């Protein structure tokens, strides 16, 4: 099996690339522009594997994408490349429109051109998995879950651009009969997560004795999933999912932002104790504009139709994540030195 992974130098894409090359023995080519969020060192574990290739390219570049398809002849395309940070989308929306919409259009068109010239046998195997977020569904009140039938109601420039990309993916499936599946996943966490996002930001600020800023009163709820569980879901969807279908992915791990921050502080108190509790570093800051109150995913379709189960619960996954950051300063120190996550961007959400 050969996978083409866009955005494979990012947080989730690199976890997917490491898994398919190292654990499944597939060949993989990563296409990534290496924006501020892309990091080749997240791929160092597989960089020398004979079945792995890296191509630095912009997914909006039609010629580069056509060439990558022709040269690498994938069976599966996992499309993850995106501008992914809600706070940045509020201040710098243009890149989100360009990459998330024009880039997705280009990935779909190049995949279509490639798919149409495949032999019948190979065309039957070929799949595109368009990787998206639960944020396209908007915000929930205190109860209820997002299902695949929940109407789209994106609230931020990020989620609106992802919603548009999902509609393009769906249109390419309906109009051209392309074997595209869409996955909408909740907040991911785990190793190699860029330190502008909530969990790594709090871990690293806590280690440095810096302020741990929390939006509003910290009551916003997110549904957390360990990144390797998301990766397993993507591989299952690619191999067993029904073309044209959408699958929600989530770990049934709802936590308020404040609970998450408290959990990290308590782990840091155990593994990297300071004179005072890390909880003393928490500071409540002005809420993000349009901050969605609650996200929660109903993943029953994925569980019932494809047999997926999240293997990690939040407490064990969070402990593993904190330990990873403690043990892997060589990965994050250069990022912090460049200012990523040190500024007050990105306090309370993934993405």
CB of 115 to ligand NAD, least distance (A): 20
CB 32 within 8 A of CB 13: yes
- Find the binder of ligand NAD among 12, 17, 28, 281 (CB under 6 A): 12
| Greatest distance between any 2 Cα atoms in the chain | 66
**By CB under 6 A, which span of 114-122, 128-136, 265-273, 290-298 interacts with ligand NAD?**
128-136
Q: Rule CB under 6 A: which of 166-205 touch ligand NAD?
A: 185, 187-188, 194
Output the CA torsion 31→32→38→39 (10° steps): 50
Q: Does 37 engage in binding with ligand NAD (CB under 6 A)?
A: yes
* Site of tokens 């791929």: 43
CB 224 within 8 A of CB 251: yes
CB 183 within 8 A of CB 246: yes
Q: Does 81 engage in binding with ligand NAD (CB under 6 A)?
A: yes
The span from the CA of 227 to the CA of 15, in Å, is 7
CB atoms within 10 A of CB 163: 22
Residue 134 annotated in active site: yes
- Find the binder of ligand NAD among 4, 5, 9, 198 (CB under 6 A): 9
Q: Which one is catalytic: 114, 137, 158, 325?
A: 158
The span from the CA of 325 to the CA of 312, in Å, is 18
Q: Does 35 engage in binding with ligand NAD (CB under 6 A)?
A: yes
Angle at 133 between CA 129 and CA 136, to 5 degrees: 120
Residue 153 annotated in active site: no
* Cβ nearer to ligand NAD, comparing 58 with 278: 58
β-pairing, 246-249 with 76-79? unpaired
CB of 183 to ligand NAD, least distance (A): 8
Q: Does 228 engage in binding with ligand NAD (CB under 6 A)?
A: no
| Binding footprint of ligand NAD on the chain (CB under 6 A) | 6-7, 9-13, 32-35, 37-38, 58-60, 80-84, 99, 103, 131-133, 162, 185, 187-188, 194, 350-351
List active site positions. Answer: 134-135, 158
């Amino acid at each position: 099996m050969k996978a083409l992974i866009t955005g494979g130098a990012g947080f989730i894409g690199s976890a997917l690339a490491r898994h398919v090359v190292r654990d499944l023995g597939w060949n993989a080519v990563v296409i990534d522009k290496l924006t501020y969020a892309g990091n080749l060192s997240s791929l160092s574990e597989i960089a020398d594997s004979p079945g792995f290739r890296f191509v630095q390219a912009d997914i909006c570049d039609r010629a580069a994408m056509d060439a990558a398809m022709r040269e690498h002849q994938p069976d599966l395309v996992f499309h993850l490349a995106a501008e992914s940070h809600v706070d940045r989308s509020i201040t710098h929306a243009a890149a989100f429109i360009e990459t998330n919409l024009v880039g997705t259009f280009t990935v779909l068109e190049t995949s279509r051109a490639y798919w149409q010239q495949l032999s019948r046998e190979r065309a039957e195997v070929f799949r595109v998995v368009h990787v998206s977020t639960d944020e396209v569904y908007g915000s929930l009140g205190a109860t209820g879950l997002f299902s695949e039938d929940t109407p789209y109601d994106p609230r931020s420039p990020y989620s609106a651009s992802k919603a548009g990309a999902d509609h393009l993916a769906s249109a390419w499936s309906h109009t051209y009969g392309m074997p595209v599946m869409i996955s909408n996943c909740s907040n991911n966490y785990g190793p190699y997560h860029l330190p502008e996002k909530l969990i790594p930001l709090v871990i690293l600020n806590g280690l440095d004795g810096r302020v741990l800023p929390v939006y509003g009163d910290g009551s916003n709820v997110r549904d957390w999933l360990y990144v390797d569980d998301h990766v397993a879901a993507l591989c299952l969807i690619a191999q067993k999912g029904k073309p044209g279908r959408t699958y929600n992915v989530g770990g049934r791990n709802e936590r308020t932002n404040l609970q998450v921050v408290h959990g990290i502080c308590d782990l840091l108190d155990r593994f990297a104790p300071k004179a005072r509790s890390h909880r003393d570093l928490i500071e409540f800051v002005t809420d993000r504009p349009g901050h969605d109150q609650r996200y929660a995913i109903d993943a029953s379709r994925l569980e019932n139709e494809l047999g997926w189960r999240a293997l990690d619960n939040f407490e064990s996954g969070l402990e593993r994540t904190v330990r990873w950051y403690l043990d892997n300063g060589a990965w994050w120190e250069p990022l912090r030195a460049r200012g990523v996550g040190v500024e007050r961007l990105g306090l309370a959400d993934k993405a």
